[in-house]
Structure 1
Amino acid sequence: MTIQPAAFSELGKNIAYVEQSLFQTDDLKKQSISLNGVEGVLLYIDSLIDQEIIQTHVLTSLLDHTNSGGDPLFTTLGSQKETDLQMATDAVIQGKCLFMLEGTAEFYILSTEKIYARTTDEPENEGVIRGAHNGFIEQLSVNLNLIRRQIISPSLIVRYFNVGEKTRTKVAIVYLQDVTNPELVEKVKDRILAISSDMVLAPGFIEEFVEDNPFSLFPQQLSTERPDRVIANLMEGRVAILAEGSPTALIAPVTFFAFYQSPDDYHGRWMVSSFLRLIRMMSFIIAFTLPAVYIATISFHSAILPLELAHTIKKSLQNIPFPALVEAMLLELIFEVLREAGVRLPSRVGQTIGIVGGLVIGDAIVRAGLVSYTMIIVVSLTAISSFLVPSHEMSSAVRILRFPMMVGAAIFGYIGIAFGLVILTIHLCKLETFGSPYFAPVAPFRLSDMKDVWIRFPIWALRQRPHDARPQQLTQQKFSRSWKKRE
């Protein structure tokens, strides 16, 4: 058990302890001040505190104070009285200010942090047509405020952790006490507390530390910057993980199908939303199988094509020096390079590079006889299909999946594709996230949960929460259209 160092009654010793703990850093400032004839000092890190708060709240309160024995020195500022010098050091590096006096072993910790906050604008990568147009920011307290303003319930619980030996990143887990399974909450807590690393800067670090299968290509936690998406998952009995300094929240546990659900699905007509979701699910298959099917058809199974189409494709391939696999790989890699260049460049330049680069290179590579027009169409459809996924992490996983599928198709034809699909299905069925099945409600199959998977039933028909998170309360609404019987 570590013994915490107690403060000294000599002011000089207290100052020396804080200075030595911070290795005499140059931005630690000391401001001497006298209180009723007693020597005192303000200690703070200049780059972390708000000078306006120091001037208007701290110094004003001290100068106006006449009774040295009174406790409430700072009536307009958050403050606490402490005797632990280690706590004093921790408070200073968090942006707080220390007020110490000669002749006493107690000191004040004052809330003087400088906060730089941007507006809660809608995240660029998760835009919606209808619904809320706000998003999380890098300040944890603001993000929690956005959640609490929508879930006005005493059962909404927030638990704080400090993660990272050096960074001491403030992490919060959020859940509903009467809905979320207590075993799930304990699992999340245990995995976060088990993190032993000097640096934990963002939820992306936490995600890799706590996920069940780190070598799986598929994301096992849903990352989002949308408060409404977090709130919807909390109401289903899941846990949200947020961190100071990042606008991203992690949701656990999640299923594969959660990555293909968009907030827009619940703000529009259920039939239209179901149609759009089916298109997204079809895009998952197209995004990683279409190039493989094309390669297998051209290389092994061209007899299944209609005669006119077979002649057209054969004519386009006459002057191509490479086999279909090399042709597809070349185009896919060029597309990935263009996409990455468009992301890294400034937004206006990136769009220009993507459009002009795609048109110029695509036309030039066909004229040079390196690839065929048919392959250009196949790769373009594949790329568009991968962009339909509402989750960036799942979109990246799907794009990588197409490469082993193309290799299998080039070696074994349709049999290679069939084996690839079987292996993929087995992997998805075996995958778990925090003990919950990743491919639920398909495996294990649960008919009652299929109302919000491939298609979305009307909201009034979604009377039960999904079973995959094992919530304490399954029923989330009663029959809301009872008025129909009375009319």
Structure 2
Amino acid sequence: MRFFKQNHRGINQHKKQQLQNSDSVGTKVFSSIRDNVNYINDFFYHSHDLMTYQFKFKQKECVVFYFETLVDPDRLEQNFFVPLAQCTNDDNGGSLILEHFPKSNNFHEITKKMLQGFSIIIKDGEQHVLLIDTASTNERSLEEPQNEKIVRGSHLGFVENISTNLNLLRKSIKNQNLFIEYLTLGEITSEKIAIVHMKGIANEEVVKKVQQRIKSISSDMIFSPGYFEEFIEDSTASPFPQMLNTERLDRVAANLIEGRIAIFVDGSPTVLIVPINFFSFYQSPDDYNSRAYIGTFIRVIRLCSFMLAITLPALYIAVIGFHFEILPEELVLAVRGAVDKIPYPPLIEALIMELTIELIREAGIRLPSAIGPSISIVGGLVIGDAIVKAGLVSNTMIVVVATTAIASYVVPSNEMSAAVRLLRFPMMMAAATFGFIGIVFGLMALLIHLCKLESFGSPYFAPMAPLRWKDLKDSIVRMPVWKMNSRPLDHQPEKMQQQSESRKWEENE
């Protein structure tokens, strides 16, 4: 057609600059098809993946615009081209085909939709554009989350598509009180965010606080929950995560019903849950799928592993450097004989091994999956054996470091595991300087920090600080489910009771 050959004269350089500066906000669709075509081409800088298709309908010139990199060709053909080919210019069915599509007369909305995979139809003489949803969906299948292994329970995990994730959540919580609010963040990337909570259960003040913090973000890009997390958390200087990251559907559903808020980010399977406390990171949905005594035993082991991971290397340094007398007589000679051959202080010995373990761990993650685990195991064995024979590290140090590494990976949350691995280094420094006194002061500083920390206004170390006896039934221990009649108080839910007194049938037997 001739209007495609006119070298986009409809918009001059002044208008083009104005177009780029305004980002099409407030610009209405022109009545001339030539001006509309030129506007779309200039707005997208004549990108090579911007495709056009020209046809006549009812003696009017029509143009279809779409990005071939965002559109599913089969959907475009089935939704538009096939029905259009089956009708003639005099057939009223053709009018119905075009009329049932949604319309828009604002170029800001139109260009946003095109970047989401929509195709648009421009008709000559009409000041609106038809929108066709032809977005390509490159989704992976639903599967178990790789970072959160499931022993017993639902094996469904979230994927990168936010619509699929919310669909799974709606199917899991079939209740009209499940409220979803959409936001768009990122001046350039325009990522879709969903804030989800249960009306009547979640505290509205906390919900407003989450909304306010998210809406205050002004950034060119929001690529992932980790990137997004730092904008809204209470204390960015703290090593502890203040939002719970999970890919498990059952975990998100359970926290929503308890009165917490879930934040979904399009393009990521990870969901952020707020507000949260320290003990939530040491809980797993698998705890509720086993006997109460077994769940309690596993939780206690996880919490003990926290203390073990941050204090064991520090205890080794303090004992060897300051308090050798506390060792049993049977161990004194063996430990002293191994340590006397080491040419540097215990702190340097511990740092060498801890950093070596971190290097092996990082290498195992970055290497291809086929050889990563093998390199990690072989590297650990070979380096451990060779470094002891070379007299650079004692056998006792190898045992300490291996136990510490295992303890740091017991926590179900990867973010908390990273915080634990980081905390042992200042504890080692304190032990090397003051011995046991340094460890005590280090633990006191850590406890003060945990008591002071908050997550969206909720106490991070609840229910230990402030102490709430009722909430202890589902923190350090896991009481039987039928005894958990009320929700945790730390995030201040509007509805405290979550179930009536159960097992009344025992009274009748």
TM-score range, shorter chain: over 0.9
Uncovered stretches (5+) of structure 2, i.e. residues with no partner: 1-21
Per the alignment, residue 468 of structure 2 pairs with: 446
TM-score for the superposition, normalised by structure 1? 0.97
Contact 1:157 1:176 in 2 (8 A): yes
2:402 aligns with one of 380, 388, 403? 380
Contact 1:45 1:92 in 2 (8 A): yes
1:41 lines up with 2:63 in the alignment: yes
1:73 aligns with one of 98, 105, 110? 98
Counterpart amino acid of 1:207?
Answer: E
Counterpart amino acid of 1:442?
Answer: M
Change beyond 3 A, Cα 1:205–1:3: closer
Per the alignment, residue 254 of structure 2 pairs with: 232
- 2: CA distance between counterparts of 1:220 and 1:418? 25
1:351 aligns with one of 373, 398, 404? 373
1:337 lines up with 2:359 in the alignment: yes
- 1: CA distance between counterparts of 2:182 and 2:341? 64
Q: What displacement does 1:3 show?
A: 6.3
1:319 aligns with one of 325, 341, 352? 341
1:308-350 superposed Cα distances (whole Å, 9 cap, x missing partner):
1111100111211111100000000000000000011112211
Per the alignment, residue 405 of structure 1 pairs with: 427
1:289 lines up with 2:314 in the alignment: no
- 2: CA distance between counterparts of 1:442 and 1:479? 25
Q: What displacement does 1:36 show?
A: 2.2
Contact 1:61 1:73 in 2 (8 A): no
Per the alignment, residue 9 of structure 2 pairs with: none
1:96 lines up with 2:118 in the alignment: yes
Q: What displacement does 1:68 show?
A: 8.2
Counterpart amino acid of 1:460?
Answer: W
Per the alignment, residue 107 of structure 1 pairs with: 129
Contact 1:35 1:68 in 2 (8 A): no
- 1: CA distance between counterparts of 2:502 and 2:197? 26
1:418 lines up with 2:440 in the alignment: yes
Q: What displacement does 1:89 show?
A: 1.0
Per the alignment, residue 497 of structure 2 pairs with: 475
- 2: CA distance between counterparts of 1:459 and 1:330? 46
2:156 aligns with one of 113, 118, 134? 134
Counterpart amino acid of 1:485?
Answer: E
Q: CA RMSD in A?
A: 1.4
Q: What displacement does 1:417 show?
A: 0.2
- 2: CA distance between counterparts of 1:234 and 1:3? 37
- 3-state SS, counterpart of residue 251 of structure 1: strand
1:305 lines up with 2:327 in the alignment: yes
1:431 lines up with 2:453 in the alignment: yes
- 2: CA distance between counterparts of 1:85 and 1:129? 51
1:213-266 superposed Cα distances (whole Å, 9 cap, x missing partner):
011100000000111111111011110001111000000000000000011101
Q: What displacement does 1:63 show?
A: 3.0
Contact 1:49 1:112 in 2 (8 A): yes
Per the alignment, residue 19 of structure 1 pairs with: 41
Per the alignment, residue 32 of structure 2 pairs with: 10
1:181 lines up with 2:206 in the alignment: no
Stretch deviating more after TM superposition (374-383 or 102-111)? 102-111
1:243 lines up with 2:268 in the alignment: no
- 3-state SS, counterpart of residue 73 of structure 1: helix
Counterpart amino acid of 2:399?
Answer: I
Contact 1:292 1:409 in 2 (8 A): yes
Per the alignment, residue 241 of structure 2 pairs with: 219
Contact 2:84 2:97 in 1 (8 A): no
Per the alignment, residue 170 of structure 2 pairs with: 148
Contact 1:220 1:253 in 2 (8 A): yes
- 2: CA distance between counterparts of 1:472 and 1:175? 12
Contact 2:119 2:133 in 1 (8 A): yes
Q: What displacement does 1:82 show?
A: 1.1
- 3-state SS, counterpart of residue 371 of structure 2: helix
- Deviating beyond 6 angstroms after TM superposition, the runs of 4 or more aligned structure 1 residues are none
1:199 aligns with one of 218, 221, 224? 221
Counterpart amino acid of 1:479?
Answer: E
Give identity over the alignment, percent.
48
- 3-state SS, counterpart of residue 172 of structure 2: coil
